[in-house]
Amino acid sequence: MVYRRTTSAHRDTHNLHGRVPAGPPLTLLQDVKRTLLALQNAPGAGKERELVRYEALMWVLNSDEELFFATAQHDLRSVLPMIYTPAVGTACLNYSHLSIPARGLWLGVDRAGSIETILANYKSEFPDVQVICVTDGERILGLGDLSANGHGIPVGKLLLYSACGGISPSACLPVTLDLGCDTDSIRDDNYYIGLRQKRVRGEEYDAFIDEFMKAAKKVFGRNCLIQFEDFANRNALRLLNKYKDEYCTFNDDIQGTAAVGLAGMLSALRMDGVPSSLNEHTFLFYGAGSAGIGIANLIVQELVRQGVNEADARKRCYFMDSKGLIYKGRGNLTPEKETFAHKVSDEVKAEAKNGIAGMVRLLKPTGLIGVSTIYNAFDTEVLEAMASLQRRPLIFALSNPTSKAECTAEAAYKATNGDAVFASGSPFDPVTIGDRTLVPGQGNNAYVFPGLGLGIVACKARHVTDTMILAAARRLAELVKDEQLAVSCVYPPLEELLDISAEIAHAVAMQAVEDDVAYAKDLPTLERVKQMMYAPGRGLTK
Ligand code: NAI
């Protein structure tokens, strides 16, 4: 429905008079402002309002893609939460009840054996696919197994690839692999859109994933990026390791999170009062799942790149999980945890189960990284213990949503007299301590994956190497300006995401060439990357 912007000349040449209202056409900027006003005035409150806006935006997307992306790019800070977290979580919980146009593909395990045909049919209508975001719907955000209802996640993620990374919407394909659902309330809902069966596991699961991967590579080409999203812990790392050397693939929950976490740490090194070398830091991770282990592994890779040997680099990271400190000889550790199980004294072992504050006093970490989903785990005692040991402790409470954060920005700043370098997964407002206003950094994956994806597409990468992820983290850290560091913020402003993505894409592409995994013969310049970007909202005056 672009009639509001149809010019007089267009009406003449396309015989549209009478088909559009006679009033003067709107400019794109006017149409964007009208859309934002409508969203601002959307009725209802809380989750009901999230759904109203989500449905409205999905229809705008369907009928007028240019307007949708121009609106998102014009006011990212407002629109991002309406199409991504938190609204997308509410949308997924209610997906079977929403009145929205279908987008992308649901591939049911009942169609096993026909996936290549389904993808080829899709390609005949949409020939430009270069990026696929795929989920099996088993761990949608922190909401559990939503299976087919989780489709909002690959849809939302790819909207961000376009809105924040400038990848053309026509190049993006969201896919949900429907292997059944183990959440009874979802599966038994009368209007549920997915297969009404329990989740398939074991060999049948692996065979279906394999069929999809092979078919996607065959139909869309060997450098079509396949991004895994929201797979359960039991499959996420396993599938990544299985496919990463054979396909162009990465897992944002593991690698994107790692890059954002490391970037926050690297930019903190430039702050007064923070030890300026990564190797001078010791991090205590509270939570040892995909996010924590992913960040720690990337810290290790960065240290190794700087010349530290791997065994010493691993000693910079300690972990606590639900059973207390992870140490050598604790027993029953997964292989991933085992690599961070260090020899500790008997005194540490005796304290290992007695909470974080004791561990802080004994291990003296410079940074505390919360990835446990335990609200308020970093209580005043813990925060004060950090402040008593470090002039400027790093306190990253990364668990999402806000209700799971290990501490609030205010608690971290108050307990440390404003000295903490705080970052979080969910947004917190600025906090004033004395005469200083401190701005919490939001470690949002959206800082990295759109640029990473753009870089991969721009250089036609064969694989996504760990060094490409590192390059993304380092570039993001470099983009943090002194004015952000001065207010204790370790990330750049979200409003600059399009330019940030271009910079990250360029760094990633350069690294891909260095790693000899790029098919493209000529490495695009930063200017060329910017020109390649789909950005209808860029340059619209405010
Ligand atoms: P996960 O389920 O893989 O890991 C959670 C970990 O927390 C497990 O090791 C578990 O043992 C530990 N844990 C649970 N209860 C605990 C307790 N009482 N004490 C100590 N440890 C405990 O989850 P994942 O994927 O690692 O995510 C963790 C959190 O990080 C989530 O809230 C997620 O939303 C958030 N996250 C944030 C991101 C960001 O800010 N950009 C990106 C990815 C995840």
Cα 398 to middle of ligand 1, angstroms: 8
Rounded to the nearest 10°, the torsion over CA 521, 527, 533, 536 is -160
Letter for the amino acid at 324?
Answer: G
Strand order in the sheet with 249-251: 105-108, 172-178, 131-135, 225-228, 249-251
3-class DSSP state of 440: coil
Q: What is the pLDDT of residues 300-312, one digit of tens each?
A: 999 999 999 999 9
- Residues known to be catalytic: 84, 157
Beta bridge partners of 436: 433
Cα 68 to middle of ligand 1, angstroms: 33
Query: Which residue among 229, 254, 262, 322 has the greatest number of ligand 1 atoms within 8 angstroms of its CB, and so is best to mutate?
Result: 322
Cα 71 to middle of ligand 1, angstroms: 33
Q: Cα 48 vs. chain centroid, distance in angstroms?
A: 25
The token pair that represents 218 in the structure block? 């065959």
426: nearest Cα among 448, 464, 400: 400
Take atom 39 of ligand 1 and give the residue whose Cα is closest. Answer: 425
Q: What is the pLDDT of residues 408-449, one digit of tens each?
A: 999 999 999 999 999 998 889 999 999 999 999 999 899 999
Look at residue 244 in the predicted model and tell me its pLDDT.
96
Atom of ligand 1 at shortest distance to CA of 291? 26
Give me the sign of the Cα torsion angle 281, 282, 285, 290.
positive
Take atom 1 of ligand 1 and give the residue whose Cα is closest. Answer: 289
φ/ψ (deg, to 5) at 105: -130, 140
Atom of ligand 1 at shortest distance to CA of 444? 41
The token pair that represents 141 in the structure block? 């955000």
Q: Is 279 within 8 Å of 362 (Cβ atoms)?
A: no
Q: Is 53 within 8 Å of 40 (Cβ atoms)?
A: no
Strand order in the sheet with 317-321: 324-325, 317-321, 283-286, 367-370, 394-397, 421-424, 441-442
399: nearest Cα among 417, 367, 376: 376
Atom of ligand 1 at shortest distance to CA of 442? 40
| CB-based contacts of 209, cutoff 8 Å, min separation 6 | 136, 177, 239
d(CA 532, CA 90): 33
What is the chain's Cα-based Rg?
24
Query: Which residue among 143, 145, 252, 373 has the greatest number of ligand 1 atoms within 8 angstroms of its CB, and so is best to mutate?
Result: 373
Rounded to the nearest 10°, the torsion over CA 443, 406, 158, 29 is -60
The token pair that represents 426 in the structure block? 């969910």
Take atom 19 of ligand 1 and give the residue whose Cα is closest. Answer: 322
Cα 167 to middle of ligand 1, angstroms: 30
Look at residue 290 in the predicted model and tell me its pLDDT.
87
Q: Is 398 within 8 Å of 291 (Cβ atoms)?
A: yes
Contacts of the segment 382-385: beta carbons below 8 A, 24+ positions apart? 382/355, 382/356, 382/357, 383/407, 383/411, 383/412, 383/415, 383/416, 383/420, 384/415, 384/416, 385/357, 385/360, 385/361
Q: Is 202 left (phi over 0), alpha (psi -120 to 50) or beta?
A: left
Atom of ligand 1 at shortest distance to CA of 233? 3
Look at residue 401 in the predicted model and tell me its pLDDT.
76
Cα 122 to middle of ligand 1, angstroms: 37
Query: Which residue among 371, 402, 406, 445 has the greatest number of ligand 1 atoms within 8 angstroms of its CB, and so is best to mutate?
Result: 371
Which residues sit with their C-beta closer than 6 Å to ligand 1? 142, 233, 253, 257, 260, 286-292, 320-322, 371-374, 398-400, 404, 425, 443-445
For the beta carbon of residue 357, count every other beta carbon within 10 angstroms: 18
Cα 413 to middle of ligand 1, angstroms: 23
Omega before residue 86 within 30° of 0, cis: yes
Look at residue 524 in the predicted model and tell me its pLDDT.
83
142: nearest Cα among 320, 317, 291, 297: 291
- Cβ-based burial of 386 (10 A; exposed 0-12, middle 13-18, buried ≥19): buried
Atom of ligand 1 at shortest distance to CA of 400? 34
Query: Which residue among 372, 490, 494 has the greatest number of ligand 1 atoms within 8 angstroms of its CB, and so is best to mutate?
Result: 372
d(CA 33, CA 43): 18
Q: Is 243 within 8 Å of 216 (Cβ atoms)?
A: no
Cα 272 to middle of ligand 1, angstroms: 30
Cα 304 to middle of ligand 1, angstroms: 25
Atom of ligand 1 at shortest distance to CA of 401? 34
218: nearest Cα among 117, 342, 304: 117
The token pair that represents 412 in the structure block? 């971290």
Task: Please list the pLDDT of the chain residue by residue as tens digits (542 residues).
Answer: 567 899 989 999 999 989 988 999 999 999 999 999 999 999 999 999 999 999 999 999 999 999 999 999 999 989 999 999 889 999 999 999 999 999 999 999 999 999 999 999 999 999 999 999 999 999 998 889 999 999 999 999 999 999 999 999 999 999 999 999 999 999 999 999 999 999 999 999 999 999 999 999 999 999 999 999 999 988 999 999 999 999 999 999 999 999 999 999 999 999 999 999 999 999 999 999 989 999 999 999 999 999 999 999 999 999 999 999 999 999 889 999 999 999 999 999 999 888 999 999 999 999 999 999 899 999 999 999 999 999 999 999 999 878 889 999 999 999 999 999 999 988 899 999 999 999 999 998 999 999 999 999 999 999 999 999 999 999 999 999 999 999 999 999 999 999 999 999 999 999 999 999 999 878 789 999 999 999 999 888 76
d(CA 242, CA 222): 16
Q: Alpha carbon of 131 to those of 64, 158, 235, 533: distances in Å?
A: 21, 8, 21, 14
Look at residue 542 in the predicted model and tell me its pLDDT.
63
Letter for the amino acid at 155?
Answer: V
Q: Is 390 within 8 Å of 363 (Cβ atoms)?
A: no
3-class DSSP state of 75: coil
